[in-house]
A and B are shown apart, each in its own frame.
Chain A
Amino acid sequence: MNYDHTTGTAINEGVIMGYLEEICDPEIPVLSIVDLGIVRAIHLKKDIAGDIEIEVVITSTYTGCPAMDMIATEIRVMLATLGFKKITVTQSLSPAWTTDWMTESGKQKLNAYGIAPPDKRFSIPEDGVACPQCNSLHTKLLSEFGSTACKALYQCGDCKEPFDYFKCH
């Protein structure tokens, strides 16, 4: 497959990146793996027969993130379903993943979903992260560790809702 089936565009790195935007993080389904900054590079080359070989380089958020193997499988399955034959997914460790790589639209989607996005003013989690429900700053850190490795647990003093904060990393 050398052209996108619907638009007829020649396959390039940007087109592949567009496909990968459809793959969601299994723990935070509102974010795509591109929003999260997990996809680090896409390498394309053609083999002797003219077929495109794709290498997708991904990096894990936290080293113990159990979603990485699942994400690698989802990438392979999606690209294979689209008709690509030669797909490799490699994992890189360096440079280490940081929340700086999260896209702006990703941060907005997180907030709308009820998870406070990473905020440089709270690089160490403490009271006062804006509540994603009511925007109050009257919030309290309950625990630096939350339901997944990347989140801390808070409660809002105004609307009383508990919420997760995606920690700066």
Chain B
Amino acid sequence: MATSSHHLIDFILSQADTTLILSHRNSEWCGHGPILEQDIAITNIALDLIGQSRNFYQYAASLMGNTDEDQLSGMRPEREFKNLLLVEQPNGDWGQTILRQYLFSQFQYLLFEQLQLHKDEQLAAITAKALKEIKYHLRWSSEWVIRLGDGTQESNLRMKNAIEALWRYTGEMFMPAEYEKEAGVDWLLLKDAWTKKVQAVFDEAFLQIPNNTFMQSGGKTGVHTEYMGYILTELQYMQRAYPNCEW
């Protein structure tokens, strides 16, 4: 297989892993949301993300041969997972979950806007379809960032704490891994557009983008934070306990 095919597969797997892990994190809120409507909202988003994840895994499996979505999500070790560090961070309080979702949805929206025009037709089809859902996630999460930032003293403080905890994981989104360098994405344009959008929402929410933050990276190449092992232990339990079981 040509190097370019390997790179495309790794890129698709990184999208699959990121959506799977964020879906898992969001699903941890099921039955624990602050009020029923928002419990339903965050789990709806989890459902959309797992749908996207399945599309990516199924496509990667078809290119790789001899594997399937269950093997790829349920049997790969931590070092092979290429998800962003941001999405594996713990839920924390509602503010931290909201901020994680917003920072990611804003990124995913702009990334998929580019990918829907990708020369690979299936990748274009998956991302074009996902974009329709991401619009909801983005609107919902940005409204929440504003509501909490421009809310009470306490909710504003919680959002500041969330920024403190999560901002260091945002730099990695725009640092292309080896397999992303020819993915047909303009990473500089993406970073610029993302920063402007986040700035506008933060302005409205009375929040600030931190200066000179050290940016942690590694997720895209399988070097994860300590939380990842715990997530996989739970997420992969069924497939490892009962190999080849199906959804």
A residues bordering B, Cβ < 8 Å?
A: 60, 62-66, 93-94, 96-97, 124, 142-147, 149, 153, 169
Whether A94 pairs with B41 at a CB distance below 8 angstroms is no
Whether B49 pairs with A64 at a CB distance below 8 angstroms is yes
Whether B129 pairs with A63 at a CB distance below 8 angstroms is yes
Q: Which residues of B contact A124 (CB under 8 A)?
A: 139
Show 20 A/B contacts (Cβ-Cβ < 8 Å), sorted by A.
A60-B51, A62-B47, A62-B51, A63-B52, A64-B47, A64-B48, A64-B51, A65-B51, A93-B122, A93-B129, A94-B129, A96-B125, A96-B128, A96-B129, A143-B40, A144-B140, A145-B44, A145-B136, A146-B44, A169-B132
Q: Which residues of B contact A64 (CB under 8 A)?
A: 47-52, 54
Query: Which B75-130 residues sit within 8 Å CB-CB of chain A?
Result: 121-122, 124-126, 128-130
> Which residue on A lies nearest to B247, using beta carbons?
A69
CB distance from A109 to the nearest CB of B (A): 24
CB distance from A160 to the nearest CB of B (A): 17
B192 within 8 A of A: no
B133 within 8 A of A: yes
CB distance from B138 to the nearest CB of A (A): 12
* A-side interface mostly: loop
Chain B interface extent, by class = 20 to 34
Inter-chain pairs besides A62-B51, A142-B37, A145-B136, 6 sampled, C-beta below 8 Å: A64-B50, A64-B51, A66-B47, A96-B132, A145-B45, A149-B44
B156 within 8 A of A: no
Q: Which residues of A contact B52 (CB under 8 A)?
A: 63-64
**Shortest 3 CB-CB distances between A and B: which pairs?**
A64-B51, A63-B51, A94-B125
When chains A and B are docked, how far (Å) is the Cα of A146 from the Cα of B140? 13
Q: Which residues of A contact B45 (CB under 8 A)?
A: 145
Q: Which residues of B contact A66 (CB under 8 A)?
A: 47
B170 within 8 A of A: no
Q: Which residues of A contact B124 (CB under 8 A)?
A: 94
> Which residue on B lies nearest to A152, using beta carbons?
B136
Q: Which residues of A contact B18 (CB under 8 A)?
A: none
Q: Which residues of B contact A94 (CB under 8 A)?
A: 121, 124-125, 128-129
> Which residue on B lies nearest to A146, using beta carbons?
B40
Q: Which residues of A contact B213 (CB under 8 A)?
A: none
Q: Which residues of A contact B208 (CB under 8 A)?
A: none
CB distance from B245 to the nearest CB of A (A): 15
